[in-house]
Structure 1
């Protein structure tokens, strides 16, 4: 085998084709991997534009083996390893080509297409420089050919859409005309790949197995330890026993690696990635080779920092009450984003450069910065970088708290003002912000601000977030909302704008009892609550728009006291409202063949349909703007393409993607993406209520009886069919479990694992009151064997052969639904699909064993 380091441009140039063998998995990179790659690209672009000397970024290796050769054809290479990187970069270049096209740069389009993507003098499959596995081929070629269905719901389409959005946002954020050209330079010439080529006749299957079945490699901290003690030939054993080993044992492997990285960051090496720890520390320590005293001091300093890291991880170790309290709050908040700044502040305390109280005040500003950004749904991009830069950038001639507040108040660091906070509490869907524990934390702190004489023990209380105005309200709730609707606004639209806002949310241990009950019933339950915020809600005479907004304002007053804002405390003039960036991201995230409404977008970003329409009307170049329709699924009469654009009508374009329209011009409802589905595509934690998902226990007789009674009451014609299908499921080896909500949902469960390693999967969720059956692709995509797009697509296609079921392919990562009444006449056909589901899962288990 032969190896060489090479740029991506040099790797792909020439009349060649990289074929991904059938034995490899389909393309599987998700949003997190794509974000990490793009952050690396962004850093290289910034360095290049600032005139720095830019070292190539090592992306990894690609292992190739000679493929079949035909005279006059392209040179074929089998991609033994590295197909994920190759495919990702090809999709990035495809998006770059199309970005050039949207900006009218025909030369850029031609250059990228011919240099990177295709063998221009060949036809058929020989034309493609990369040929993915057959399962991915259609989606990939749709992107290369710029077909209407490019950017579908699979991972290939999602990656293409991700890069389209990243390029559009990057161009929007910079006023530098060189930016897009620099992106092209970075992708072509500054991403380094090690090309490893096998000889003709080598067993490529054996190579693939050896690469992907190796033992556990050395961690970055293992490499550093080996290097350091190689430099300590005389006192290494003693230093290891007295210093390194106790530190290693107290921290554990993961935290030790975290410490070694934080040590570099706190020293000012804020651009160091966790994958480059060893190289960074080696470069720093190399000048000390031969000086064992100095090396021992370095290790002793690392041990001291390790003790401080343990105080961050486990605040009970902190002796200062003020500092311990705020460290406990940050630990409850979760995440490690703030660690570099927090560790630096503990360094200052232990060095005597600041007091514990001053550091505690500084960390209060850190907490406020994180909480306010979450409530305002400020994009988290650059958040890690901000905290990594902090130790180096803090002003040293000021008290620590003042320095931290001034640093975080910087113009581009986006610490929301009191005005922005008030606006967000009133309008943003807080229920989709951050992670569930962070939402609960904010509500808990707001409850604690009431200063009850008998505070709730939150550690013992089993509380969850409750919507006072229910997510699925009965008709009486809509009657109440109808009194407060604006002109041309329906009660449902008003409900959607209010239901997930902070003013409508509280904490309770009676979620199942409260459910979608009338407000009078909720008043009785909330009035007996020990939480002051619930008693306050119970004192209201009604619960509609006025009460929700009034409570939002009261909670904002408390939030401002709990979490002080930036210096100045006013909204920065001239800055774009972050909601518009979220709107653009949502439209890019929409798979081809889908549409949404102005109201759905407004609900997502915390706005109103009218300003959403105004924004899109004044920004006609926004990607995917043609996918936003009126509430009844029609093209808005006000829609216009950018001046001079010669393009098909929005309806023609949507139809070319596969969106159906009825004769009156209304788009097919099944292909509409709701606000919750848009949020899911953006990676927000849009959790169903816990009671809407399967309980961990087996079948419960009382819950089963409730389900049967509700089904019989609301859908008597489908009742026998549903119960017959559930009986069939049990015969196939599955079991049935139920939710604990007032509407007793039902889940046919299957354990496709072993006694030692359970692997629970379920295909459907049945709701007996609303009469909907959800197909839970959102969960299946994370569970084998349905984590592959082709298996979920097969499930969708089998279901769609049944009359009355019409699931759009664009929702293969969501929870599309069909009516429960389908069970009335098509129970046997549904049994056939479930039989296939069970056998597919069983086959996967046999292969894993």
Structure 2
């Protein structure tokens, strides 16, 4: 085998085709991997446009084996390893081509298409420079060929849509024609790949096995340790025993690696990636080679910094009470975003340059910055970079707290003002913001602001977030909301705009008791709560829009006291509302073959259907704007393409993508994406009700009886079919669990784990009151073997053969549903699909055992 470092452009140039063998898994990169790559690309683009000397970013290796050379000169290469990187870059170029075309640069679009994506003079499959495995082939070629189905469900379509959105937003933010050109140059020439080529006759599958079954390699900190002690032949043993080993033992491998990276960041190397720690530290220490005393001093400094870092991850070690409290709050918040700035502040404290109290106040501003952004659902892109820049960019001639506040208040750092905070608390779906522990933390801090004489011990209390106005309300709640609905607004639409806002949420240990009971019953339970915020809610006589908005304003007043705002406290002129940024991101995230409604988008971004419609009418070039329809599923009469557009009418375009319309011009409801589904596609942690997810305690007789009686009461025609199916499931080795909510959901569970590890999965969730069966692709995509898109697609297709089931392929990442009434006549066919599910899981178990 031979290896060479090469740019992506040089790798793919010529009449070549890269074929992914059938034994490899399908394309699997998700949003997190794509985001990391795009952040690296973004940094390179910024440096390139600034005229800086840019070192290529090492992307990894690609292992190739020579295939056939056909008449006509196309060289076939088997992609033994590295298909994820190759496919990702090809999809990035596909999106770049389409963005160039939409931006009025057809020549640039044609250049990318011919130079990167296709073999111009070849036909059929040979036309494509990359040929993924068969399961991904149709989705990939649809993107390259600009077919209407481009950007469908699954990981291939998701990656294409991710890059399409990232390029559109990046170009708008840059407001410059040369930005896309810089992206093209970076993707072609500044992403470095090691090309490893096998020789003819090598056993390709054995190479693949060898690469993918290797042991754990050396970490970046391991490499640094080996390098440093190679330079310490005389002092090495003593330095290792006295400095390095205690540091390594106190931190552990992961935190040691993190410290070595943070050490670079607080020294001003704020663009260093964690994958480049060893190279950057080696470059920094190289001039000290031959000076063992100086190297020992460097390790002593790192050891001292390790003790400060431990105070960040274990705040109980901090002696100052105010500083300890500030560090504890940030540790409870979670994540590592604040680490560079916190470590820099502790450096200042230990050096005597600032006081612990001053550092604590500075960290309060950090907490405020994070909390306000979460409440306002400000996009998180770039936030890590902001905190990495802080140690270098803080003003040194001011007190630390003032310097931190001024830094975070800077232009484009997006610290929401008091007014933005008030608007968000009143309208944003807070329940979909951040991670569940962070949502609970916000509510906890608001509860603590009441300064109760007997505060709740949150460390011991088992509390969860409760919707006072329920997520699944009984009719009595809708009757109450009907009195407050605006003209043309249904009680359901008003409910959807209110239910997830902060004013409607609280903490409780009685979530299952509160359920979706009428407010009078909830009052009785909340009135016995130890939380002051719950006593305040219980004092209300009713709970509708007026009460939720009034509470939102009270919570805003407390939030402003808890979390001080930026200096100036206003949004800079010309800066766009984050709601419109989120709207555009949501429309880009929609797979082809789906539609949504103005009300769904309004619910997602915390707005109202009217301004959403007005924004899209004024901006018809927004990607996916034609996919937003009215509540009936019809094209809005006010929607128009931009003047001069040659695009086909919106309904025809949607039909070409696979959206079905009835004779009245209404889009198929099964293909509609709700606000919750849009939020899921955006990567938001859309928490399902804990009470609606499977319980860990197996079959519960009381819950099973509740499920049966509710099914009998609401859908008696389905009882026999559901019972037959669930009995079949048990005979196949599965079991049943139930939710603890008043509507007692049922989950057919399967443990497909090994003797060493539990591996629970469930294909369906049955709801006996609402009368639906959810197919939980959203959960299955994280569970082998259904993390493979093709396996989920097979389940969908088997179910769709049954009359009454119509699951859109675009929802392979979500939780589409079908009526329980299908069980009445087709339980045997459903059992056949479930039999395939169990058999597929068993084969996977045998492979993993």
**Secondary structure of residue in 2 paired with 1:68:** strand
Contact 1:707 1:744 in 2 (8 A): yes
**Secondary structure of residue in 1 paired with 2:818:** strand
Deviation of 1:71 after TM superposition, in Å, equals 2.1
**Which residue does the alignment assign to 2:527?**
527
**Secondary structure of residue in 2 paired with 1:218:** coil
**Which residue does the alignment assign to 2:407?**
407
**Which residue does the alignment assign to 2:147?**
147
Alignment of 1:792-803 (within 5 A): 792-803=792-803
Alignment of 1:389-400 (within 5 A): 389-400=389-400
Alignment of 1:302-313 (within 5 A): 302-313=302-313
**Secondary structure of residue in 2 paired with 1:412:** coil
For residues 698-748 of structure 1, give each alpha carbon's deviation from its aligned partner in whole angstroms, at most 9, with x where no partner exists: 111111111111111111111121111111111100000011111111000
Return the alpha-carbon distance in structure 2 between the equivalents of residues 190 and 36 of structure 1: 16
Deviation of 1:198 after TM superposition, in Å, equals 1.2
Return the alpha-carbon distance in structure 2 between the equivalents of residues 490 and 74 of structure 1: 61
Alignment of 1:513-552 (within 5 A): 513-552=513-552
For residues 578-619 of structure 1, give each alpha carbon's deviation from its aligned partner in whole angstroms, at most 9, with x where no partner exists: 110100000000000000000000000111101101111111
Return the alpha-carbon distance in structure 2 between the equivalents of residues 433 and 106 of structure 1: 39
**Which residue does the alignment assign to 1:499?**
499
Deviation of 1:637 after TM superposition, in Å, equals 0.2
**Which residue does the alignment assign to 2:116?**
116
| 2:822 counterpart of 1:839 | no
For residues 16-51 of structure 1, give each alpha carbon's deviation from its aligned partner in whole angstroms, at most 9, with x where no partner exists: 111111111111111011111111111111001111
Return the alpha-carbon distance in structure 1 between the equivalents of residues 754 and 441 of structure 2: 36
**Which residue does the alignment assign to 2:4?**
4
**Which residue does the alignment assign to 2:450?**
450
For residues 640-669 of structure 1, give each alpha carbon's deviation from its aligned partner in whole angstroms, at most 9, with x where no partner exists: 001110211111011111111110000000
Alignment of 1:770-809 (within 5 A): 770-809=770-809
Alignment of 1:746-757 (within 5 A): 746-757=746-757
Q: CA RMSD in A?
A: 0.8
**Which residue does the alignment assign to 1:74?**
74
Deviation of 1:474 after TM superposition, in Å, equals 1.1
For residues 391-428 of structure 1, give each alpha carbon's deviation from its aligned partner in whole angstroms, at most 9, with x where no partner exists: 00001111100100000000110000001000000000
For residues 125-150 of structure 1, give each alpha carbon's deviation from its aligned partner in whole angstroms, at most 9, with x where no partner exists: 11110011011100001011100001
Return the alpha-carbon distance in structure 2 between the equivalents of residues 389 and 811 of structure 1: 40
Contact 1:259 1:306 in 2 (8 A): yes
**Which residue does the alignment assign to 1:237?**
237
Return the alpha-carbon distance in structure 2 between the equivalents of residues 754 and 79 of structure 1: 31
**Which residue does the alignment assign to 1:127?**
127
Runs of at least 4 residues off by over 3 Å: none
Return the alpha-carbon distance in structure 2 between the equivalents of residues 647 and 240 of structure 1: 68
**Secondary structure of residue in 2 paired with 1:147:** coil
Return the alpha-carbon distance in structure 2 between the equivalents of residues 13 and 399 of structure 1: 56
Deviation of 1:829 after TM superposition, in Å, equals 1.0
**Secondary structure of residue in 2 paired with 1:182:** helix
**Secondary structure of residue in 2 paired with 1:663:** coil
Contact 1:419 1:571 in 2 (8 A): no
Deviation of 1:73 after TM superposition, in Å, equals 3.9
Contact 1:468 1:504 in 2 (8 A): yes
**Which residue does the alignment assign to 1:639?**
639
**Which residue does the alignment assign to 2:730?**
730
For residues 374-397 of structure 1, give each alpha carbon's deviation from its aligned partner in whole angstroms, at most 9, with x where no partner exists: 000000011000000000000111
Deviation of 1:785 after TM superposition, in Å, equals 0.6
Return the alpha-carbon distance in structure 2 between the equivalents of residues 188 and 256 of structure 1: 35
Return the alpha-carbon distance in structure 2 between the equivalents of residues 599 and 72 of structure 1: 55
| 2:255 counterpart of 1:246 | no
**Which residue does the alignment assign to 2:469?**
469
Contact 1:595 1:627 in 2 (8 A): yes
Deviation of 1:571 after TM superposition, in Å, equals 2.5
**Which residue does the alignment assign to 1:91?**
91
Deviation of 1:4 after TM superposition, in Å, equals 1.2
Alignment of 1:17-32 (within 5 A): 17-32=17-32
**Which residue does the alignment assign to 2:62?**
62
Return the alpha-carbon distance in structure 1 between the equivalents of residues 497 and 808 of structure 2: 26
| 2:197 counterpart of 1:197 | yes
**Secondary structure of residue in 2 paired with 1:87:** helix
Return the alpha-carbon distance in structure 2 between the equivalents of residues 647 and 621 of structure 1: 11
| 2:613 counterpart of 1:629 | no
Alignment of 1:511-660 (within 5 A): 511-660=511-660
Return the alpha-carbon distance in structure 2 between the equivalents of residues 288 and 589 of structure 1: 51
Return the alpha-carbon distance in structure 1 between the equivalents of residues 660 and 177 of structure 2: 40
Tell me the TM-score normalised to structure 2 length.
0.99
**Secondary structure of residue in 1 paired with 2:295:** helix
**Which residue does the alignment assign to 2:827?**
827
Return the alpha-carbon distance in structure 1 between the equivalents of residues 578 and 698 of structure 2: 45
**Secondary structure of residue in 1 paired with 2:35:** helix
Deviation of 1:831 after TM superposition, in Å, equals 0.9
Contact 1:73 1:126 in 2 (8 A): no
Tell me the TM-score normalised to structure 1 length.
0.99
Return the alpha-carbon distance in structure 1 between the equivalents of residues 586 and 671 of structure 2: 16
Deviation of 1:104 after TM superposition, in Å, equals 2.4
**Secondary structure of residue in 2 paired with 1:72:** coil
**Which residue does the alignment assign to 1:289?**
289
**Secondary structure of residue in 2 paired with 1:413:** coil
Return the alpha-carbon distance in structure 1 between the equivalents of residues 77 and 829 of structure 2: 45
Task: Please identify, of 269-278 and 182-191, the stretch whose mean Cα deviation from structure 2 is larger.
Answer: 182-191
Return the alpha-carbon distance in structure 1 between the equivalents of residues 564 and 259 of structure 2: 30
**Secondary structure of residue in 2 paired with 1:411:** coil
Return the alpha-carbon distance in structure 1 between the equivalents of residues 152 and 71 of structure 2: 36
Q: 5+ residue gaps in structure 2?
A: none
For residues 187-245 of structure 1, give each alpha carbon's deviation from its aligned partner in whole angstroms, at most 9, with x where no partner exists: 11111111111111111112112211111100000000000000100010011001100
Return the alpha-carbon distance in structure 1 between the equivalents of residues 105 and 414 of structure 2: 33
Deviation of 1:504 after TM superposition, in Å, equals 0.4
For residues 486-526 of structure 1, give each alpha carbon's deviation from its aligned partner in whole angstroms, at most 9, with x where no partner exists: 11111111111110000000001111111111111111111
Return the alpha-carbon distance in structure 1 between the equivalents of residues 679 and 152 of structure 2: 17
**Secondary structure of residue in 2 paired with 1:622:** coil
Return the alpha-carbon distance in structure 1 between the equivalents of residues 434 and 335 of structure 2: 11
For residues 348-397 of structure 1, give each alpha carbon's deviation from its aligned partner in whole angstroms, at most 9, with x where no partner exists: 00010000000000000000000000000000011000000000000111
Return the alpha-carbon distance in structure 2 between the equivalents of residues 277 and 103 of structure 1: 38
Return the alpha-carbon distance in structure 2 between the equivalents of residues 508 and 6 of structure 1: 57
Contact 1:94 1:113 in 2 (8 A): yes
**Secondary structure of residue in 1 paired with 2:688:** coil
Return the alpha-carbon distance in structure 2 between the equivalents of residues 537 and 22 of structure 1: 59
For residues 788-809 of structure 1, give each alpha carbon's deviation from its aligned partner in whole angstroms, at most 9, with x where no partner exists: 1111011011111111111111
Return the alpha-carbon distance in structure 2 between the equivalents of residues 225 and 53 of structure 1: 29
Task: Please identify, of 103-112 and 686-695, the stretch whose mean Cα deviation from structure 2 is larger.
Answer: 103-112
Q: Number of matched residues?
A: 849
Contact 1:692 1:741 in 2 (8 A): yes
Return the alpha-carbon distance in structure 1 between the equivalents of residues 519 and 755 of structure 2: 46
**Secondary structure of residue in 1 paired with 2:643:** coil
Return the alpha-carbon distance in structure 1 between the equivalents of residues 375 and 597 of structure 2: 24
